[in-house]
Amino acid sequence: MNLLIVGGFLGSGKTSILLKLARYIAGENPEYMSKVVIVENEIGEISVDDKVLSGFGAYSVTNMFSGCVCCTMSGELVSGLNQIQKDMNPELIILEATGVAFPHNIRETVKYSIPDANCRVCCVTDAKRWNRLLIPMGNLLPDQLDSADVILINKVDTVPSETVDAVEQSIRQFNDTARYFRISAASEIAPEVFEAVLGERG
């Protein structure tokens, strides 16, 4: 099982980026597209997200969880993923985590329960709100960056580049091993960003 976990705080741009990633995959490799399953799991956003994503005919959108995906829901998460694998046998499952989930915990849970799973974590951060949210949210934002392979600093169109520099510096305190990209989901996202998010593909 190949799993891409897209995490990051509420409103950071996960769904927007996922839609562009989906379009990228569709444009670049339509055959692969039909083998990609997107799992949306954002509280309260599900119906909106669903409608948009359903526009991609070959994509399967599954709302399989009653609540949020986090360590306390691990049983449901694992059985849901196993069910998808069994029913659809996709080459890739993309999971949009809820804005309060810890992608690192999801990855650990999946790796423990599905040993052959190959997990990748992409964390989306919001350049506009990072500084504003960092303190009030306690450890949530930093902990969401744990073990991310790729960190996208999104919404760079909304702040001056000095602010983006400062945000990146702040974020790097918590994860300095990930690959970083500055993007705006409101405009074009470069192919190399998508390739980095997807990682090696078989």
Ligand X SMILES: Nc1nc2c(ncn2[C@@H]2O[C@H](COP(=O)(O)OP(=O)(O)O)[C@@H](O)[C@H]2O)c(=O)[nH]1
d(CA 6, CA 44): 17
Residues 7-36, mask of contacts with Mg ion (x by CB under 5 A): -------xx---------------------
| Separation between Cα atoms, residue 193 and residue 180, nearest integer Å | 9
Tell me: does residue 10 bind ligand X (CB under 6 A).
Answer: yes
Q: Which does 10 bind (CB under 5 to 8 A by kind): ligand X, Mg ion, none?
A: ligand X
The SS3 assignment for 114 reads coil
Structural element, H or E, at residue 44:
none
- Report how far residue 201's alpha carbon sits from residue 22's, in angstroms, rounded to the nearest whole number: 15
Let me know: does 38 contact 18? Beta carbons within 8 Å. Answer: yes
Nearest to 127 by CA among 158, 101, 99, 96: 158
Q: How many CA atoms lie within 13 A of 136 on its CB side?
A: 6
Q: Which of 2, 5, 7, 16 binds ligand X (CB under 6 A)?
A: 16
Q: Is 13 in the site for ligand X (CB under 6 A)?
A: yes
Answer yes or no whether residue 157 interacts with ligand X by CB under 6 A.
yes
Using CB under 6 A as the binding rule, whether residue 155 contacts ligand X is answered as yes
Residues pairing with 7 in the sheet: 123
Among the listed residues 33, 42, 126, 144, the single contact to Mg ion using CB under 5 A: 42
Q: Kindly tell me the sign of the dihedral angle through the C-alpha atoms of 81, 86, 87, 88.
A: positive
The first and second tokens of residue 10, run together, are 């509420």
81 binds, among ligand X, Mg ion, none (CB under 5 to 8 A by kind): none
DSSP state for residue 68 in the 8-state scheme: -
Q: Which is nearer to ligand X, 116 or 162 (CB)?
A: 162
Q: Decide which of Mg ion, ligand X, none touches 105; Cβ closer than 5 to 8 Å per partner kind.
A: none
Q: Which stretch binds ligand X (CB under 6 A): 13-21, 75-83, 87-95, 108-116?
A: 13-21
Structure tokens at 106: 């999801």
Nearer Cβ to ligand X (13/80): 13
- Mapped onto helix, strand or coil, the DSSP state of residue 193 is helix
Distance in Å, CB of 188 to ligand X, minimum: 11
Stretch 169-188 residues interacting with ligand X (CB under 6 A)? 184-186
Q: Please, which residue, 36 or 85, has the CB nearer to Mg ion?
A: 36
Task: Name the residues that contact ligand X, by CB under 6 A.
Answer: 8, 10-16, 42, 99, 124, 154-155, 157-158, 184-186
Task: Name the residues that contact Mg ion, by CB under 5 A.
Answer: 14-15, 42
